[in-house]
Amino acid sequence: MLSNKQQQPNLIVVRFISKPLKQHIEQQKQKETTMEKVTDLTQLPIESLKMLAKQAEELARTKEQEGVEKDALRKTLNPLILNAVQAKGKYERKLNELLDISTELDNALNALKDALK
C-alpha cells in the first residue's frame, strides 16, 4: 500500500450565477441608452425643460428641508446623548468604587478570621 501524506485533496468551489450573462449585458445596454436619453437635454422641448427645472427645484427644496430638520434633530439629541454617556461613566466609576470597597472589606474579614485562629 502506497501512501503520500504530502498530497492534499483538492477543494474546488463552484459558484452558481443566477443571471445569464447575455441578460446582464442587455440590461447594461438598456441602462446606457436611457442615460444617453437623459443626458441629451438639447433635444427636449421647452415645456419638458421647464418641467424638469421645476422638479429639480422642488427636489432641491425638499433635500434642503431634510438637511435643516436633521440638523435641528442632531442639535436636540447631542446634549441628551452627552448626558447619557456621562451618567454611564459616573455609574461605572461608582460600581468600580463599590467593588474596590467590597474587596477591601473581604480582605479585612479574612485578616480578622486569621487573627482569631
The arithmetic mean of pLDDT across residues 87-114, rounded, is: 96
Residues 6 or more apart from 52 whose CB is under 8 A from it? 41, 44
- pTM, whole model, 2 decimals? 0.44
Q: How far apart (Å, rounded) are the C-alpha atoms in residues 19 and 24?
A: 7
- Model pLDDT, residue 83: 96
Name which residue leads in pLDDT, 78 or 35: 78
19 DSSP 8-state letter: S
Name which residue leads in pLDDT, 52 or 3: 52
* Torsion sign across C-alpha atoms 97, 103, 108, 112: positive
Mean pLDDT of the chain: 84
